[in-house]
A and B are shown apart, each in its own frame.
Chain A
Amino acid sequence: MSHAEHPPYLQHHFETAEQQFDAGKLGIWLFLATEILLFGGLFCAYAIYRANHPEIFVYAHHYLDKTLGGTNTVILLCSSLTMAWAVRASQLGQRKLLVLLLVLTLLGGAGFMGIKYVEYQQKWKHGLLPGAHFAPHDEGIEAAAPEKPIAPLAGGGADRTTIPPSAEGPAGTVPPASADLSLREGPTRRPSNVQIFFSIYFLMTGLHGIHVLVGMIAIGWILVRSLRGHFGPDYFTPVDFVGLYWHLVDLIWIFLFPLLYLIG
């Protein structure tokens, strides 16, 4: 097979375009697997802390804004739809539709980041920050309609365990039985170590946000290429792969939203 017969997108070490596409597809799936494992670490941290300190999660999630979080979920789901449609459009060679759908997807991503920014700003304003920076103050903080009244957040920064360790230490020092919420905490006192929840919240949503940004850059790149007419029924590999990545980013949020915002 001489080079003259090769289509421009076929690299020299592949025999056929199909082989190249299959290789790329396997590659992108492997990449997605690594992404899942990257987040897997954080999901494990979440699971372990929630198992050891359920009271922190139940208490602190009231301070996340369910409306904004829910809106973001809808936005991301819609952008996933437009992305999937865009892949289809590129396969069918519908260039104008492809461009339109990519622009819509990009707008979805931007909308998501915008809302995320508003949420982060509120947390910053209220001092609901991770770890050592946790310093909540009362003005303007409203817990979102809990079923029963909950303790005010304000009053001191992060609880620092004094050494020798207090009874409410980290995992391992508190037997799970003593974590019975109704008995121990009551509505008047906030649980210890609430900052852990906000650490996990910022780490998980922050890493996810970075992935949304990367996804937007990738979509921008295929948008430019589709404006130049690079894609058609013969060659739509990049659109397909960016689409897969975008669905993964969406999927991770589908897990993050209930785990962080909708703890019952």
Chain B
Amino acid sequence: MGTAEGTATGARVSPRLGDNYLTHTRGFASWALTLDHKRIGVMYLVAILTAFLLGGVAALLVRTELIARGPTIMGADAYNKMFTLHGAAMVFLFIIPGIPAALGNFVLPLMLGAKDVAFPRLNLMSFWLWVVGALFAIGAVVAGGVDTGWTFYTPYSTTTNTNVIATTFGAFILGFSSIFTGMNFIVTIHKLRPVGMTWFKMPLFLWSLYGTAMIQVLATPVLAITLLLLIAERALKVGIFDPALGGDPVLYQHFFWFYSHPAVYIMILPAMGIISEVISVHARKHIFGYRFIALSSIAIAVLGFLVWGHHMFVSGQSGMANAIFSVLTFSVAIPSAIKVFNWLATLYKGDIRLSTAMIYGLMFLVTFGIGGLTGLHLGALAVDVHLHDTYFVVAHFHYVMFGGTVVALLAGLHHWWPKMFGVMFDERLGRIAAALIFVGFNTTFFTQFVMGSHGMPRRYYDYVPQFDLYHQISTIGSYVMAAGFFLIAYYLILSLVRGKRAPMNPWGGNSLEWHTPSPPPHDNFSETPVAEDPYDYGKLVYDPAKGGFASRSYEGAGAS
């Protein structure tokens, strides 16, 4: 490790970054058939960001339609297809695979000091299943769209004449992609930990990925069978969910949410893991309350399975069931609160650098905080009756999913970008983009809390005049947010072309991925590293010559 190379500062990136995983082999096949977790991670990153672009454009069209009452840029049916596209693309294609499959795939084996995940072929298959699933889903859109909403509620989904089968089949395949990623991660964490890394010495990102993987493995099969039943219902008219044939449409909702509620923890848990890493590293401070954060990830994963019924408080569940699901829902709030307090405490007496990654990390505390606290409104039965299926829910969901997961993804992307591609991005533009996104996001979605609590139902093409102002503000906010994202795309792509060469350890992290060159070599580590406390930064000192941090004990071992 002491022989790290290529840490000279100021040098423009030459066409060759030296021998690393990006340059190790060349050609399309060397990527498409790669078994290297880092390349698969990068391919996933490109894929999910493409899906994010697709879902984002759909969102902007939806918001533009809603800027004024009545038809603005599209008809009611087109609008219904558009919000379905937004939801399905964002949920199934982007946010579920997002952090685990892209960043997780890249970082997890590195953090473990391992050469790869346990099943590299399965990993590659998982990626290509994602592609096939995405093609089905996008094919359905090209062939005329789907108008059910991403939840595919019966009997609407069994009676509409849009392409439900192709879309749900796509989601079915994507489910298997997700299951395989989860299996891979669980086995890798169990079996490929290095000597000296006990469970409670793992970086917290790994704990969160472990919790995520448990949900992926245990909940996704239920989605698979649910979607199969839905397909059977449409194609063969088996009648399990069809009231006209003696079936029960609400049963579908139970099945669907048994997966889809844990699925929101698939989305948020790895985000929390990233925040633990980013806040600790950029505050140069040992994470506070390690065990509580680690165990709260597992608590969320377990409790997340028991709360699906809170999506059906007004669907005709018994009062007893409602009460039980309400209690359990509140119980999930506790581990999330514990995490937030611990992150705050980590900052205490730290040395806080407002790098772009850290700005997103701190933004998470604010936006996820609002998302979590408004969850309390929705967990309270009487209040949920009023707020159910209104924009209040839409806003809450986006504060958790965007203010939580997407913000954390951005934090992780900026945190690991130098490691992934060996280049530094423009921090100044990074901060400007973060500001745009913060302002745009809150403008878009805070207004939705207000109109929701005033009774604006969701999935509405048109609305009563009372809501004019809210919708206008919300739409303008979404444009600001979009500008932020285009700026991010600009400076990140620019960094690939002419970014400064990244040092081995630009932020001073101590988990193992920072102990190998940026970008890492094909085999990750030239020799198997020894794990130590990932949050002990005492030994790392900033070396202005390298533009990054180096370990004191390795000093003199001779860098390049």
Contacts and interface: CB of A to CB of B under 8 A. Distances in A.
Given A23-B119, A161-B244, A200-B240, 5 more contacts: A38-B225, A171-B251, A196-B240, A199-B240, A203-B240
Interface stretch (A111-119, A128-136, A147-155, A238-246): A128-136
A12 B522 CA distance: 12
Given A23-B191, A40-B222, A196 B246 contact: yes
Contacts of B225: 38-42, 207
Contacts of B237: 130-133
Interface residues of B, number: 47
Contact of A45 (B187, B224, B229): B229
B187 A12 contact: no
B191 A22 contact: yes
Contact of A161 (B183, B186, B243, B251): B243
A26 B243 contact: no
Interface string B195-237: 0000000000000000000000111111011101100110011
A37 interface: yes
Contacts of A171: 248, 250-251
A160 B240 contact: no
- Binding site secondary structure of chain A: helix
A165 B236 contact: no
Interface residues of A, number: 49
A26 B246 contact: no
A169 interface: yes
Contacts of A131: 233, 236-240, 242, 245
Interface string B107-118: 000000011111
A37 B305 CA distance: 13
A45 B244 CA distance: 17
B245 A158 contact: yes
Interface in B92-130: 114-120, 122
Nearest to B242: A131
A203 B247 CA distance: 14
A203 B229 contact: yes
A195 B246 contact: yes
19 contacts: A11-B120, A13-B117, A23-B119, A23-B191, A23-B192, A26-B187, A27-B183, A30-B182, A30-B183, A34-B217, A38-B221, A45-B251, A132-B237, A158-B245, A170-B247, A195-B239, A196-B240, A202-B238, A207-B225
Contacts of B232: 203
Given A27-B187, A203-B232, A192 B246 contact: yes
Which 4 pairs, one residue from A and one from B, show the smallest C-beta to C-beta distance? A193-B246, A41-B225, A131-B239, A132-B237
A48 B247 CA distance: 11
A247 B376 CA distance: 46
Interface string A108-144: 0000000000000000000000111100000000000
A35 interface: yes
Nearest to B114: A13
B21 to A, nearest CB: 14
A172 interface: yes
A196 B239 contact: yes
Nearest to B37: A13
B221 A199 contact: no
A247 B76 CA distance: 52
Given A13-B115, A40-B221, A172-B248, A133 B236 contact: yes
A34 B179 contact: yes
B129 to A, nearest CB: 14
A27 B118 contact: yes
Task: Point out which of A33, A161, A199 has the most chain B C-beta atoms below 10 A from its C-beta.
Answer: A199
Given A170-B243, A171-B248, A196-B246, A130 B238 contact: yes
Contacts of B182: 30
A207 B238 CA distance: 14
Interface in A174-228: 192-193, 195-196, 199-200, 202-203, 207
A133 to B, nearest CB: 7
A132 B239 contact: yes
B190 A26 contact: yes
Nearest to A22: B191
A30 B186 contact: yes
B255 interface: yes
A234 interface: no
A41 B242 contact: no
B319 interface: no
